[in-house]
A and B are shown apart, each in its own frame.
Chain A
Amino acid sequence: MPSSLKHLLFMVVPLVVIFAVLPGVYQNHLLLFNFVIFLILAQGVNIIYGFTGYLPFGYVGFFGAGAYGFAIMVMQYQTPAVLAVIVAGLVGVALGLLLTPLLRLSGAYFAIANLAASLAVLHFVANPALESVTRGPYGVALSGTFDPNMAYAAAVVVMALTLVFVVFLKNSRFGLALQAVREDSVSASMAGVDVVRMRVIAWLASALVAGLAGGVYAWYVSVFYPDNVFSGDFSIFAIVFALFGGVATITGPIIGVIMLYGIYNLIGFTAPQYFQLIYGLLIMGLVLFLPAGLVSLATRRGWHVP
């Protein structure tokens, strides 16, 4: 059996099935939805950071742009929610295209420029002068499309598509070439790889994923303000979850989200007063002792982690 089929059968399918049936047995629908959203975003970070080495500190920009893309379609054009989610993805891609010049930067410079770009998009959307289009800082209320069950189903579909794409990256020459670019762009070009094209494709794919996630998020919550959907917490969480598990793998970001977001909610319920402390210590421990993520515990021993 080819490894891509194995990865689909033993990782993607079970995860999708679990999240599809969980709402039937577990009442906290919002919590499950947030898990799915972070599974999507962590894989989105994995696509751009794990496979190309660009750390997207302003990743939430695509998410927020997607959420507002959804809101504007619904408010201004009364489109069906599913169509609006697709437009949300395209808005993410459009923003990604606009920001492609950032790929000329690298390392911390890219991360900072990307963060600045996401803040610029936030303040553009929240500008009171645009009240007639985005409702500016006053937020949007999309009661017409409110349907948490459908929105949850859409989120699971987006998660499935994202995972299939990551499985493709992990098993294809395309993904291998992306990793070659991440390791050494000069050598990659001497292997015949069009470095700029590869980076742009990965960048736009990762923007598409966040845009779609923003769209389903807007659909699910239906009432939100710019500060909610452009909150830096989304970027930070998605990056920390992906790194905690280990990037450039399929399993790493999944493990990262399930464990860390699980612990996050557990602490939130049981010992909220120690929440920041415990979470902070956990992340420090990770950075100090497992900079390559949990999967490195296995790869260090020479075990292959898909």
Chain B
Amino acid sequence: MSPDSKPILNVSKVVKRFGGFYALDGLSFHVVSGEILGLVGPNGSGKTTAINVISGLYAPDGGEIVMDGVSIGGMASHKLVHRGVNRTFQVPKPFMSLTVRQNIEVALAYGRAAVTPPTTEALLDEYRLAEVADRPAADLNNVQQKILDLVRALATRPRLLLLDELAAGLNPTELDWIAERIKALAQTGIAIIVVEHLMGFIEHITDRVIVMNAGKEIFEGKLAVAVQVPQVIEVFLGGEHAA
């Protein structure tokens, strides 16, 4: 990532309310192409809400989300997908009764990828799903379903990819493998936002992190620096550790 490259996504002062609760309370950050940005913070700090708002699941109640110079806040998910946004889900959501192959084919057929997407076979091989290609997604284990979520996203050729706790539940070997995959994807120019609780994993793959608390960012920079900042230590470990 070159420091002066133009952000693909700019989130500024975004607000999302659920009744009287402010899940996002003026969140601002940006991400550039080819960068892996980590989104960290304690439970309930608004990480997943941020992903949901950017991917069109919720419309923001305030602020602006700009991608490629166009305001995309509140745009329908499928339109965002056609613009190059995609994501995975914390709890994987494949099409359970369809086969793995059909799961991918839907995204290939309807994703309107700007560049020719990889073939189903290539994706199946690359993400180790070839053996289960003709089984219904319901037969897969949790990790395979997570990978299938990722593959479905990749079939639409995203330029901005949001990964919501993709690494949770993976064993160490799988973690190393998926970390390499994510880095390789970033090297092709995809901007990737990673929400994760595994700090080692975040440290290993991200260029930069945003630490969130109560719906806004409290730190932006390297994770190694973040853990020295009293405010960050306070929200993660409680006030008495900050001193």
Contacts and interface: CB of A to CB of B under 8 A. Distances in A.
Contact of B94 (A173, A177, A187): A187
Nearest to B153: A190
Most-contacted residue by chain B among A180, A184, A190, A194 (CB, 10 A): A190
A195 to B, nearest CB: 7
A189 B76 contact: yes
A186 B92 CA distance: 11
B78 A192 contact: yes
Interface string B70-87: 000000111001100011
Interface stretch (B107-115, B172-180, B186-194, B203-211): B107-115
A192 B82 contact: yes
A278 B195 CA distance: 57
B80 to A, nearest CB: 9
B229 interface: no
A193 interface: yes
Given A176-B105, A180-B95, A183-B95, A190 B87 contact: yes
Given A173-B109, A176-B106, A193-B106, A188 B82 contact: no
Nearest to A304: B134
B6 to A, nearest CB: 26
B77 A186 contact: yes
Interface in A136-186: 173, 176-177, 179-180, 183-184, 186
A7 to B, nearest CB: 17
Nearest to A193: B110
B163 to A, nearest CB: 13
A191 interface: yes
B106 A173 contact: yes
B78 A187 contact: no
Contacts of B103: 180
* Nearest 7 CB-CB pairings of A with B: A189-B77, A183-B95, A192-B110, A191-B107, A192-B111, A173-B109, A192-B81
Given A184-B96, A191-B111, 9 more contacts: A173-B106, A176-B102, A179-B98, A183-B94, A188-B106, A189-B78, A192-B78, A192-B82, A193-B78
